[in-house]
Structure 1
Amino acid sequence: MFFPIFSVSAFLLSFELHFSASACPALCKCYTEEVIHCNNLGLTALPEDITASATYLNQAGNLLCILSFFQLFPPCPFNSDSLAKPQYPGTFVALTDLRNLNLSANSRLTYLHAYTFQGLSNLISLDVSHCNIFEIHPLVFSHLVSLEILDLTSNKMRYIPHALSKVPNITRLSLEKNNIEVIGKNSLMFQTSLHTLNLRKNRIWVIQGEAFIHLNELHNLNLGHNNISDLPNQLIEGLIHLKTMYLEANRITAIRCPFSSLINLKKLYLNNNRIVYISRNAFSSLKELEFLHLSRNHLASIPHPLFLRLPKLRHIFLSYNSWNCDCDMGWLAQWNASYRGVLEGLHCSLAASRATKATGFSPNSSQCTLRPDETKDACEETPTNTAQRQRFPAASLVLTCTLVLFCF
């Protein structure tokens, strides 16, 4: 008796061709029935034949767009050869198993309607970065009860959206590269599960008091590359689990005692600011600090005993400051002699005199007597405490019109 022999490779090829023809939307790539890539195809809407069992959908780099009922915005150009029909709110309603949705780099996407994501109750990760979104309906995330990761990087939002109040389980939130100017007292009050918050490269210049007090689980906070000029004491109160804080490239001129509650902080970035003054008690509560970046400021001296109270400090960067190598800086020589970490950028002659236990520090190698440990230091507020003095109404309370996620 003769039995036909089929190779495993031929069988798999046959299965792949059958799967591709029957389950994968036209022009898309499907690695499995649940993982679908329809990115960079010029699509103006979601393909109609996406299987309901899909768990991953990538529609980045397409031409999704919006249209208001009142025609306040010009419609998207109509093309008779479009790959799909117009997309209306609720398009994703059948994709109840979807876990990951990527809508990034849709440059025509400017608005998210209240029902845009209706049906996506199991969605965990949503990427709508690098679009041109300027407005988000307050209820747009109300259907996303399982959402944990939200990326809104590189859009045109002017404030932290109120819609975040509907997704209290988010652990990672990025609002980098928007046009946000103010962090209000209640802007983040519902984000109690946040581990990572990225507000880098906005226009933030006002942070109202207690803005971060509800973020008890936050580990990483990025406020770099903004317009922050003032860090009032207790501004960052409540962030007891914070590990890393980025404040580089702002307009900060003085550091008094804003970090007193950051008892678990390990990395602090203050480089590329305009800092001319640091209180000797500025970092006294940071017993877990390992990394401190103070390069590219306007510092002339380091007050004694700024680093002595930081037992775990292992990396200090001080480059590109205008150091005045006089006796006020002499204490660093004795401290550096026993320091076991990395100290970079302090271009002074650090040499301790064993005979007198004094510090020869000045360019003339004159002997300097160490000053007593002055633990008392002013941590008063700055005269212009913008973060607590200013009170701005939330801009997001004003919605000019009702829009629909819609494209041709």
Structure 2
Amino acid sequence: MVNVLDGCLIRLSVLCLLPQAGLALWACVRACPASCTCTQERSCSVLCDRSALAELPKEFPCEASAINLDKNRLKFLSERAFGTLPSLKSLSLDHNNISFITPGAFKGLPNLVELKMAHNEHISYLHTRTFTALKKLVRLDLSDCNLFNIPDRIFIEQTALKELLCFQNNFRRIPGAIRGMENLTHIYLERNKIEAVAYNSLLGLGSLKYLNLQENRINVIHEMAFQDLVRLENFYLNDNLLSELPRVSFKGLGRLKMLNLGGNQLTNVSKTWFSDLLELEVLYLDRNRLLFIEEGSFENLTSLITLHLNSNNLTTLPFPVFQPIYFLGRLYLFRNPWECDCTLEWLKEWMESYKLVRDIPCASPSSVAGLDLSEVVFAKVNGTCVDPGELNLTTASTDIASTTENRFNNLISKLLQQELREEMGNGTESLRNGTFLDPEDGEISDGVRGQMSQASQSILYFLVVWFLFGLIGLSDMDICVSCT
């Protein structure tokens, strides 16, 4: 009858006759499988990783507290595959070729706390009774398998489960199996194919502190879907397909410390979204399509330290939107098409005073395009801020008029000097009436005017018209003349 316990009782009776010193080491090493290495430090660990095993060893030391079978070629787990190992706390089967797990495969492991089965790409199905008898299981890793779903009642005996890792599978919805698991504190569901978060997907998870739903295909979140997550602290919803959120999306999440909504398709921020997040310290809204932030959106975020608004389509950030969190520690605003007008003057002053934000390149107005906001000068007229664009327009108009006038005077002077030389070369009586051109002031005597050719007068007429058009802001005519 003793043999039914896989020899554990036989060995224990023999070990009782040995001295206590070296007892545990002897027992662990003696029963170590041939292809494995067994070590005894504080407890017996069996290392069978990278041993090219296609089948499980027939026997493990019954004193084993940890078994590592990673990176082998295991394909099948039969019922009671590991025999009876009452001391086993950790079992790792990562990176194998497991395709089928018989219901009850882990029977005989009553004290197992951690089970790792990640990176078994041929596991696409789990039976409802796969984890039968693992009543003390705290951490389960099923990441990077090929699971499309798991049965709703698969964790009915795992009431102690705290951490569930199921990232990088093929789930199209949040597994119903987690619903009502009161002790779960961490759920990893990133890099699946989840499309929606239903109102009842996360019910009964009152102890949850960490929820990762990033890099899915979520485009719909139902109203009050997170209402039971009253202890949630870290929430990842980034890199999904969200274009809008329910009016009170995060109501009740009063303990939330970090919320990541980056990498979605949001175009606006509503003042109702974050109203309950009094303890929020880090908020990611980067890599969206934000055009508008409603006034009052951040007014209740009294604990906020870091705000990411970079890589959006924001052109302005009015002071009333930002005022309630003026004491913010880090503000990221780069990669937005900022319009650096007077509405951002407060932000420039804040940058200079607190040195906590930088890299705000201006996209407009054209007078400051390409400059950083820190380099923009806001002038005052009668105590009122004047936009850089208006200043630039005034300066530019003056410069254009001045330049046009100078070019006109130069052309007239050159034309008349050339005409005078031609008249003198033809032996005319050009000096009979005291005709001359003063080289200093460019004045022309009446005698010269009288002897100008008809062609020169036509050119002069054209230049006068061109000059007048230039003064009224049509100096582009110069471009057309050059093109001709």
Cα gap change, 1:125 to 1:29, in 2 (>3 Å) = farther
Cα gap change, 1:28 to 1:218, in 2 (>3 Å) = farther
Superposed, which structure 2 residues align to 1:240-279 within 5 Å? 240-257=254-271, 258-279=273-294
1:195 Cα deviation after fit: 0.3
Q: Which has the higher contact order (CA 8 A, sep 6+)?
A: 1
* 1:161-207 deviations in Å (ceiling 9; x for gaps): 11112522100001001110010011101111100000000000000
Q: Which amino acid aligns with 1:275?
A: L
TM-score, normalising length from structure 1? 0.76
Partner of 2:28, secondary structure, is: helix
1:333 Cα deviation after fit: 2.6
Superposed, which structure 2 residues align to 1:6-405 within 5 Å? 19-22=28-31, 24-25=32-33, 27-31=35-39, 32=44, 33-46=64-77, 47-49=81-83, 51-66=85-100, 87-257=101-271, 258-339=273-354, 341-346=356-361, 347-348=372-373, 349-351=375-377, 359=385, 362=388
1:356 Cα deviation after fit: 6.5
1:259 Cα deviation after fit: 1.0
1:311 Cα deviation after fit: 4.5
Cα gap change, 1:186 to 1:25, in 2 (>3 Å) = farther
Q: Which amino acid aligns with 1:184?
A: A
Distance in structure 2 (CA, Å) of the matches to 1:110 and 1:335: 55
Distance in structure 2 (CA, Å) of the matches to 1:172 and 1:132: 21
Cα gap change, 1:177 to 1:26, in 2 (>3 Å) = farther
Q: Give 2:470's aligned residue.
A: none
1:121 Cα deviation after fit: 0.8
Partner of 1:92, secondary structure, is: coil
Q: Which runs of 5+ in 2 are unaligned?
A: 1-20, 45-63, 362-371, 393-484
Q: Which runs of 5+ in 1 are unaligned?
A: 1-10, 67-86, 367-408
Cα gap change, 1:95 to 1:304, in 2 (>3 Å) = same
Distance in structure 1 (CA, Å) of the matches to 2:38 and 2:243: 50
User: More displaced, 262-271 or 347-356?
Assistant: 347-356
Q: Relative to total residues, which structure has the larger helix share, 1 or 2?
A: 2
Q: Which amino acid aligns with 1:63?
A: N
User: More displaced, 307-316 or 183-192?
Assistant: 307-316
Cα gap change, 1:26 to 1:259, in 2 (>3 Å) = farther
Q: Which amino acid aligns with 2:266?
A: I
Q: Which amino acid aligns with 1:189?
A: L
1:213 Cα deviation after fit: 1.0
Partner of 2:286, secondary structure, is: coil
The total of aligned residue pairs comes to 335
Partner of 1:306, secondary structure, is: helix
Q: Give 2:437's aligned residue.
A: none
Distance in structure 1 (CA, Å) of the matches to 2:201 and 2:34: 42
Larger Rg: 2
Distance in structure 1 (CA, Å) of the matches to 2:355 and 2:94: 48
Cα gap change, 1:284 to 1:219, in 2 (>3 Å) = same
Distance in structure 2 (CA, Å) of the matches to 1:129 and 1:333: 47
1:49 Cα deviation after fit: 4.7
* 1:293-341 deviations in Å (ceiling 9; x for gaps): 1111111111222332115411011111111112232332333343353
Distance in structure 2 (CA, Å) of the matches to 1:27 and 1:239: 51
Q: Which amino acid aligns with 1:57?
A: L
State whether residues 172 and 196 of structure 1, in contact with CA within 8 Å, keep that contact through their aligned partners in structure 2: yes
Q: Which amino acid aligns with 2:132?
A: Q
User: More displaced, 330-339 or 188-197?
Assistant: 330-339
1:30 Cα deviation after fit: 4.4
Q: Which amino acid aligns with 1:285?
A: N
Distance in structure 1 (CA, Å) of the matches to 2:300 and 2:33: 57
Identity %: 33
Distance in structure 1 (CA, Å) of the matches to 2:205 and 2:214: 18
Distance in structure 1 (CA, Å) of the matches to 2:249 and 2:144: 31
Distance in structure 2 (CA, Å) of the matches to 1:202 and 1:194: 20
